[in-house]
Amino acid sequence: MRAIVPHLELCTGCRMCEMACSLHHEGLVNREWGRIRIHRKGIEHYVPVACNQGASCDKECVKVCPVDCIRDVNGHAIEVVREECIGCGECVEACPYNAIHMRGDVAFKCNLCDGDPTCVKFCSLKAITFEEGVPEEFDRAKDAAEAMR
């Protein structure tokens, strides 16, 4: 499955991806509502974090969801079915990449914009790409995400 692949050495922390995501999904620019997040690591290092759709994890979020509301809905991505989410937060805790968030009582995560991620289009430095996952890139992002928890 194709996924958003972070290239940590290229990210400058401009946050265009977060804003593009928020605008695409929510109709407003609010980086806290983006499904992709840029985490700052140290003074000059930034880490783009988005769900890799199970490319390098065991889909822990799917396994722990007590109501099975995290699943492949459209054949493009594993996503949270908002109407079915009970807001328990188990998926947030289970995600090894820190790529699932809560807004109110509902979890949300990247759904790859129906197979054409908007965030990738707005990353002029190619710090995120949409391709078959490269395990080393995901592992580096996972290590960085864990360090920020």
* pTM recorded for the entire structure: 0.86
pLDDT tens track for 2-23:
889 988 889 999 999 999 999 9
pLDDT tens track for 53-70:
988 889 999 999 999 999
Instruction: Report how far Cα 43 is from the mean position of its chain's Cα atoms.
Output: 23
58: buried, middle or exposed (CB in 10 Å: 19+, 13-18, 0-12)?
Answer: exposed
- pLDDT for res 139: 78
